[in-house]
């Protein structure tokens, strides 16, 4: 049950509510987080951690393996369905319109499939259903080619035909997954960097769901909220740097538990 101080915050929110979501919100849809047991990927006899696979460096060294990892994960995402927390956020956007903004680190596309719009959803780490030119010659990411299987068995190598399909249709260079890798930087054109910062400067309330805060822009958003003294609500089964910020500022609350448990309740109490 939500306590009275959280209800008070929700009832009195009149401006923009910025929701910041991470892999934890999709955990109840069956998509593993990076910190979970299933996070690694095996290449030959070695297990690679996501922090090693999700890099430009790994893509330079073993492009087919990196593609196979993404194609496998894309299959997992496509096979998953939005859960109660995703659906609640779609209702929140319908009710609140321009006073709602969703900044998501997830690449699974489940927020959009639940009904959130691209206009109010900043996919700050990209979307696994898109690719772009590795030489950045295309003006925008393009959908994954039709000829690429939606399900991908672990360990299955790419065929020559698939390698061709995964080239840039414009210049013929290698195509790459449309995601932000750990050794790359945010930008506005692909990842809505400045827009996300601007939203954090304007928001009346920040609600952080299911993220460890291991990447820089999400932590930056949390820090801006703390410096501005606006309330922050943090939903997570475990304490994390965001709950640490709330503890220090005293503005907001840490709601220990899952996204499915808390998010629908929070949405129901926000005023239209
Ligand atoms: P993470 O894997 O680092 O952490 C997941 C967080 O979710 C943890 O803090 C965990 O305690 C919490 N959590 C687990 N189950 C939960 C639940 N049921 N409800 C609420 N919280 C729950 O994920 P991250 O912080 O988002 O960052 C890692 C990177 O991983 C991001 O760049 C993201 O793009 C990528 N990623 C995305 C997906 C996806 O799109 N679904 C999946 C895995 C990783």
Q: How far apart are CA 213 and CA 31, in angstroms?
A: 18
Q: Is the CB of 116 under 6 A from ligand 1?
A: no
For residue 21, give the ligand 1 atom closest to its CA.
Answer: 26
Nearest CA-CA partner of 177 in 59, 43, 32, 41: 59
Q: Is the CB of 107 under 6 A from ligand 1?
A: yes
Of all protein residues, whose CA lies closest to atom 32 belonging to ligand 1? 105
| pLDDT for res 190 | 96
How many domains, the chain? Answer: 1
For the ranges 37-51, 92-106, 125-139, 164-178, the lowest mean pLDDT is seen at 37-51
Task: Give the confidence band of 38 by pLDDT, cuts at 50, 70, 90.
Answer: low
For residue 28, give the ligand 1 atom closest to its CA.
Answer: 18
Distance 137 CA to ligand 1 centre (A): 31
Q: Where are the beta strands (DSSP E) in 31-186?
A: 41-43, 46-48, 100-104, 121-123, 126-133, 142-143, 175-179
Instruction: Count how many Cα atoms sit within 13 Å of the Cα of residue 104 in the half-sphere of its side chain.
Output: 25
Nearest CA-CA partner of 252 in 272, 225, 270, 217: 225
Burial class, 49, CB count within 10 angstroms (exposed 0-12 / middle 13-18 / buried 19+)? exposed
CATH code of the domain containing 166: 3.40.50.1220
Q: Return all residues near 85 (Cβ < 8 A) that are at least 6 apart.
A: 25, 28, 209, 259, 260, 263, 264
Q: Is the CB of 24 under 6 A from ligand 1?
A: yes
- With tokens 């979501």, the residue in question is 21
Nearest CA-CA partner of 68 in 46, 43, 45, 51: 43
Q: Is the CB of 210 under 6 A from ligand 1?
A: yes
Q: Is the CB of 106 under 6 A from ligand 1?
A: yes
Indicate whether this model's pTM tops 0.75.
yes
pLDDT digits (tens, 9 = 90+) for 62-77: 999 999 999 999 999 9
For residue 128, give the ligand 1 atom closest to its CA.
Answer: 40
Q: Is the CB of 35 under 6 A from ligand 1?
A: yes
Q: Two tokens at 30?
A: 């069956």
Distance 253 CA to ligand 1 centre (A): 20
| pLDDT for res 155 | 84
Distance 22 CA to ligand 1 centre (A): 5
| pLDDT for res 75 | 96
Q: Is the CB of 127 under 6 A from ligand 1?
A: no
What's the chain's length in residues? 272
Distance 233 CA to ligand 1 centre (A): 17
Burial class, 216, CB count within 10 angstroms (exposed 0-12 / middle 13-18 / buried 19+)? exposed
Q: Is 272 helix (H, G, I), strand (E, B) or coil?
A: coil
Of all protein residues, whose CA lies closest to atom 21 belonging to ligand 1? 210
For residue 73, give the ligand 1 atom closest to its CA.
Answer: 42
Active site (annotated) includes residue 161: no
pLDDT digits (tens, 9 = 90+) for 200-225: 999 999 999 999 988 899 999 999 99
Phi, psi (deg, nearest 5) at residue 92: -60, -45
Q: How far apart are CA 225 and CA 239, in angstroms?
A: 18
pLDDT digits (tens, 9 = 90+) for 135-190: 999 999 999 999 999 999 988 999 999 999 999 999 999 999 999 999 999 999 99
Range of 210's domain? 4-269
Q: Where are the beta strands (DSSP E) in 49-181?
A: 100-104, 121-123, 126-133, 142-143, 175-179
Phi, psi (deg, nearest 5) at residue 121: -125, 115
Catalytic residue among 86, 125, 178, 220: 125
The DSSP symbol for 144 reads P
């Amino acid at each position: 049950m939500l306590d009275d101080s959280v209800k008070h915050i929700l009832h009195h929110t009149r401006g923009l509510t910025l929701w910041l979501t991470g892999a934890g919100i999709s955990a109840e849809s069956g998509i593993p987080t990076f910190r979970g047991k299933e996070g690694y990927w095996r290449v030959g006899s070695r297990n690679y951690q996501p922090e090693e696979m999700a890099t430009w460096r790994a893509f330079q060294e073993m492009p087919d393996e990196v593609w196979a990892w993404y194609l496998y994960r894309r299959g997992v995402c496509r096979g998953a369905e939005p859960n109660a927390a995703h659906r609640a956020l779609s209702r929140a956007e319908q009710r609140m319109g321009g006073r709602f903004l969703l900044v998501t680190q997830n690449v699974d596309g489940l927020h959009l499939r639940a009904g959130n719009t691209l206009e109010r959803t900043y996919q700050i780490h990209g979307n696994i259903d898109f690719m772009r030119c590795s030489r950045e010659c295309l003006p925008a990411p393009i959908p994954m080619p039709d000829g690429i299987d939606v399900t991908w068995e672990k360990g299955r190598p790419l065929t020559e035909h698939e390698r061709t399909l995964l080239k840039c249709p414009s210049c013929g260079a290698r195509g790459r997954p449309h995601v932000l890798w750990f050794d790359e930087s945010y930008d506005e054109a692909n990842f809505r960097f400045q827009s996300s910062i601007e939203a954090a400067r304007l928001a009346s309330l920040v609600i952080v769901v299911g993220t460890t805060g291991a990447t820089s822009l999400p932590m930056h958003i949390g820090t801006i909220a703390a410096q501005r003294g606006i309330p922050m609500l943090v939903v997570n089964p475990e304490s994390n740097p965001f709950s640490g910020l709330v503890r220090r500022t005293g503005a907001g609350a840490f709601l220990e538990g899952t996204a499915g448990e808390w998010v629908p309740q929070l949405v129901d109490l926000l005023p239209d």
